[in-house]
Chains A and B, each alone.
Chain A
Amino acid sequence: MSKLSQKHLLGIKNLTRQDIELIFETTDNFKEVINRPIKKVPSLRDITIANLFFENSTRTRLSFELAEKRLSADVINFSASTSSVKKGETLLDTVNNILAMKVDMVVMRHASPGAPHFLSRHINANIINAGDGTHEHPTQALLDTYSIREKLGEVAGKRVAIIGDILHSRVALSNIFALKKLGAEVMVCGPPTLLPKFIANLKVKVELNVLKALQWCDVANVLRIQLERQQIKYFPSLREYSLYYGINKQMLENLKKEIVIMHPGPINRGVELTSDAADSAHSIILDQVENGVAIRMAVMYLLAGVAGA
């Protein structure tokens, strides 16, 4: 099969293991393409893609836009802060107006969990979720697991610890789904206040001590503290958080084994990761960014390539 089971990429939850593997195989090919002297292929030249960012983003937005341009798609960008959303237009109206201009695919980030799912019931274009609130961020999970596969050969059987603000993290949830589907063991680690109440239902290990988590894992995916989503105080101070949950190079060197450090960005240096850890040989943070473009090219190619889509 060379076709995804889904018409949209709303979340990892809806994907099958075969879907993820097909995306990875296609990503291998696109990774070769973006390392050519001329990095562009004409696959999506008759496709128009709208990037609708109702919430701020640097990396994801640039990565999507670059992926679209490398595939020769026509791109229109939209950010909520400079649009009529401020004048009171609803999400559906905004999107329908954009689709009336003959757009084939929508890449959307929104602060409300489920916004792309809602949209998928009302419009015909392919939708790619680029992050919906605290819910899912599928392309990030795909690029994270792809980076693990690239670095360690395979994902199945590997131990992955997700460390930090699990409660507010869509990256954590999508990563847990992707890692479980690919057969990895998953642990979450963070202050008890930042772990979701029902996390154990996802069949992941829970650890409160960061050193024990590091000793257990092959890969540590370190997350940022999302202060912008925290309406109440979950821990006394950033300084105290970094004292108990921050990772530094000394800790990695004391482990007596090699582990891989990942971070979806943006890093708050000195809080969850010190600079010497983030820039150490353990870190594959910049590989993740490179793989992000190839993963997004593969997802768009596979979604757009179905006849009559």
Chain B
Amino acid sequence: MQKKLILDSDLLDITISRLCQQLIENHDDFAETVIIGMQPRGIYLAELIRKNLEAITKKNIHLGYIDVTFHRDDFRRRETPVKANETRIPFVIEGKKVVLVDDVLFTGRTTRAALDAMISFGRPAKVELLVLIDRKYNRDLPIAADYVGKVVNTLSSQHVLVELEAQGHKQNRIWLINKD
């Protein structure tokens, strides 16, 4: 199994603060904006982004989690049903600007499911997508991210592994793995 480091800890810090600055450019003090992390792995990145944003803006920013399991389009196409995670959106998204956050954008199917799931909670004024890694040339659906940490050219036989300290890893590192 070959592993290639795409982002190390220092580069990741720089990338995250750049993403935060881009968000602030578009959302000012986040009075009308909420962040929703996508389960299971997007929530750690969302938490990181919120912490950074709160440090910069000195304001409380709403953060929720959304689980898309019951909205996926591959039900009954897998060997086993996908295990669901917690959804927690303790605020109203009706009329708000929503920033969806995930670690890796690959086929776009999870994002589609998240858009579907989110509508159950109300009608946001606007939805944007933030991803740390955008896997180019692998999209199955017409979905693009508004904020991208890093674009990576990958083959579908490869796999992007995100290791964050918040998930219990020693260091923040992102790898590209060949699954041969």
Contacts and interface: CB of A to CB of B under 8 A. Distances in A.
Interface residues of B, number: 24
Nearest to B70: A41
B65 to A, nearest CB: 11
Interface in A135-167: none
B80 A42 contact: no
A301 interface: yes
B87 A37 contact: no
A217 B179 CA distance: 55
A307 B78 contact: yes
Given A36-B121, A38-B119, A38-B120, A306 B79 contact: yes
A29 B79 contact: no
A26 interface: yes
A188 B81 CA distance: 37
Q: Say what secondary structure dominates the interface of chain B.
A: loop
A8 to B, nearest CB: 16
Given A29-B87, A32-B86, A42-B71, A37 B81 contact: no
B80 to A, nearest CB: 4
Given A32-B87, A306-B76, A2 B120 contact: no
Contacts of B103: none
A94 interface: no
B76 A36 contact: no
Given A40-B120, A43-B70, A301-B70, A307 B84 contact: no
Interface in B87-101: 87-88
B55 to A, nearest CB: 31
Given A33-B70, A37-B122, A42-B70, A2 B86 contact: no
Contacts of A28: 86
Interface in B77-136: 77-88, 116-117, 119-122
A43 B117 CA distance: 11
B137 interface: no
A302 interface: yes
A304 interface: yes
Contacts of A47: 76
A25 interface: yes
Contacts of B77: 307
Given A38-B121, A309-B76, A2 B82 contact: yes
A39 B88 CA distance: 15
A7 B95 CA distance: 44
Nearest to A33: B70
Interface in A24-57: 25-26, 28-29, 32-33, 36-44, 46-47
A33 B85 CA distance: 12
A305 B76 CA distance: 5
A26 B84 contact: yes
Given A41-B71, A43-B70, A36 B80 contact: no
A43 B78 CA distance: 13
Nearest to B89: A36
A42 B69 CA distance: 10
Nearest to B87: A32
A1 B81 CA distance: 10
Contact of B83 (A2, A43, A44, A46): A2
A41 B117 CA distance: 8
Given A29-B86, A41-B71, A306 B80 contact: yes
Contact of B80 (A1, A32, A41): A1
Interface of B: 67, 69-71, 75-88, 116-117, 119-122
5 contacts: A39-B120, A40-B120, A41-B70, A41-B71, A43-B75
Task: In the A-B complex, list the 4 residue pairs whose CB atoms are closest, starting with the nearest.
Answer: A305-B81, A41-B70, A29-B84, A3-B80
